[in-house]
């Protein structure tokens, strides 16, 4: 068998034949509520730019100034020559804002999960992983020498069943998304923390989609439930609410210090670029100064969900800016995504393995900077396209 025989993706080949291939659309403008994409005016309902800060003048200026002061890159890892005063400043302010003792930044959110989980859970330890956790968590579990036990999505009975299987002498880490990235639902953190206490486990929350969205002033899922002290590790990404690129771990001093010296993905990767660090830091300060941005996001998201429901569009309803629209199978999802794009709305198609086959969906997301007239326009387009259905010739 030739190694490359596997490089034949029938679904994508078929979607190209049908003219509904949905990926790699080219943007010619900023990430904003309305963008220019492949020469079209398009309402952007597919960005994780939750607070709309990628086009904020102060955030942009901070990135430009950092480029001039520090250059384009750090040319090394944080462990050696790649630590800037900006990195330390960002870490201090994030730890203070999130109510944790310490913070360790990484160049991407994906790398952050690899750096944390692969180091903290070793041989003879166990990781308990929600089945709908992000792919980076799954890859981090593979990189770790720990045994991974998956539990059914937000099923606390199944989680306890898995915990009971683990020897008392083993280390245990429960890992969950705070806000699940495809469906937009929130983890059952109070129940998770109670089970962790009962069975002597530690808790890690990937709050990539909860930070800037939930909690007091956008402090995330743990704060939303009043459980910051009960969550041992919080992971954040900067590519969403902080309008940059990068990620971090928030935890105690001694855990962060240990990970800085043993985590291979952290030690052997180049540090965040100066511009990325400066923009994330400035966006964090904007969030601290303007917590009303989170209220704007919550309100416009609720307005969008109500508009869809009033027009008979079936969605998964949750108090987050992620609003999934059911389309069920893969090719139908591609077709609806293509039609919406042609009519002026961009959404993200979600198919297996990002969801269960038969439960495919269009993942729409809101920004705090969306306005009601723009949302009204988008709702009308979405409802019209879905009501037209799939043509008989399809």
Q: Which residues are the active-site residues?
A: 181, 209, 240
Q: What is the CATH number of the domain that holds 173?
A: 3.40.640.10
Q: Which residues pair with 130 in a beta bridge?
A: 151
Q: What are phi and psi of 47, to 5 degrees?
A: -100, 150
Q: Which residues pair with 40 in a beta bridge?
A: 37
Which segments of the chain have a pLDDT < 70? 394
What is residue 287's predicted lDDT score, i.e. its pLDDT? Answer: 98
What is residue 11's predicted lDDT score, i.e. its pLDDT? Answer: 87
Which residues in 8-99 belong to E strands, given as ranges? Answer: 34-37, 40-44
DSSP letter for each residue of 300-356: HHHHHHHHHHHTT--B---SSSEEEEEEESHHHHHHHHHHHHHHTEE-EEE-TTSS-
Same domain, 193 and 150: yes
Q: What is the CA radius of gyration of the chain?
A: 21
Distance CA 56, CA 287 (A): 12
- For the chain, what is the domain count? 2
Same domain, 174 and 35: no
What is residue 166's predicted lDDT score, i.e. its pLDDT? Answer: 97
**pLDDT tens-digit profile of 360-391?**
999 999 999 999 999 999 999 999 999 999 88
Same domain, 215 and 322: no
Asked if 306 and 98 count as a contact pair (C-beta separation under 8 A), the reply is no
What is residue 285's predicted lDDT score, i.e. its pLDDT? Answer: 98
- Residue owning tokens 């520090």: 70
- Residue owning tokens 């108090």: 319
Same domain, 135 and 219: yes
What is residue 177's predicted lDDT score, i.e. its pLDDT? Answer: 98
What is residue 346's predicted lDDT score, i.e. its pLDDT? Answer: 98
Q: What is the CATH number of the domain that holds 316?
A: 3.90.1150.10
What is residue 224's predicted lDDT score, i.e. its pLDDT? Answer: 98
Stated pTM of the model = 0.96
What is residue 270's predicted lDDT score, i.e. its pLDDT? Answer: 97
Distance CA 291, CA 213 (A): 10
Distance CA 326, CA 33 (A): 22
Domain end among 289, 317, 342: 289
Tokens of 227: 């459980």
What is residue 9's predicted lDDT score, i.e. its pLDDT? Answer: 85
Distance CA 128, CA 106 (A): 23
Q: What are phi and psi of 20, to 5 degrees?
A: -125, 20
Count of other CB atoms within 10 angstroms of residue 285: 15
Q: What is the H or E stretch that residue 113 is in?
A: helix 109-120
């Amino acid at each position: 068998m030739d190694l490359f025989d596997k490089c034949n993706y029938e679904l994508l080949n078929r979607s190209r034949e049908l003219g509904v291939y949905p990926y790699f659309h080219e943007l010619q403008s900023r990430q904003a509520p309305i963008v220019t994409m492949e020469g079209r005016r398009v309402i952007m309902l597919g960005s994780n730019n939750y607070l709309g800060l990628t086009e904020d003048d102060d955030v942009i200026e901070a990135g430009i100034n950092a480029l001039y002061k520090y250059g384009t890159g750090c040319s090394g890892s944080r462990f050696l020559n790649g630590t800037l005063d900006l990195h330390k400043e960002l870490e201090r302010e994030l730890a203070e804002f999130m109510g944790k003792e310490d913070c360790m930044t990484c160049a991407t959110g994906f790398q952050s999960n690899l750096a944390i989980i692969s180091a903290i859970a070793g041989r003879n330890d166990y990781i308990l992983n929600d089945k709908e956790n992000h792919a980076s968590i799954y890859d981090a579990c593979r990189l770790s020498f720990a045994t991974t036990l998956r539990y059914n999505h937000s099923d606390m009975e199944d989680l306890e069943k898995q915990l009971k299987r683990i020897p008392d002498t083993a280390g245990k880490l429960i890992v969950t998304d705070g806000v699940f990235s495809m469906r937009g639902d929130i983890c059952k953190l109070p129940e998770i923390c109670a089970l962790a206490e009962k069975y002597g486990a530690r808790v890690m929350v990937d709050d990539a989609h909860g930070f800037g969205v939930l909690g007091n002033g956008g402090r995330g899922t743990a704060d939303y439930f009043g459980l910051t002290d009960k969550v041992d590790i919080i992971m954040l990404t900067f590519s969403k609410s902080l309008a940059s690129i990068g990620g971090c771990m928030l935890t105690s001093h001694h855990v962060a210090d240990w990970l800085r010296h043993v985590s291979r993905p952290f030690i052997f990767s180049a540090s965040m670029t100066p511009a990325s660090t400066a923009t994330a830091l400035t966006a964090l300060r904007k969030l601290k100064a303007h917590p009303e941005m989170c209220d704007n996001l919550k309100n416009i998201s609720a307005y969008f969900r109500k508009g869809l429901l009033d027009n008979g569009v079936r969605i998964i309803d949750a108090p987050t800016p992620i609003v999934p629209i059911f389309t069920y199978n893969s090719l139908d999802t591609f077709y609806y995504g293509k039609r919406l794009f042609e009519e002026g709305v961009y959404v993200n198609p979600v198919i297996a393995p990002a969801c269960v086959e038969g439960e495919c969906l269009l993942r729409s997301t809101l920004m705090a900077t969306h306005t009601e007239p723009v949302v009204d326009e988008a709702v009308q387009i979405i409802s019209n396209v879905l009501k037209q259905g799939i043509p008989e010739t399809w």
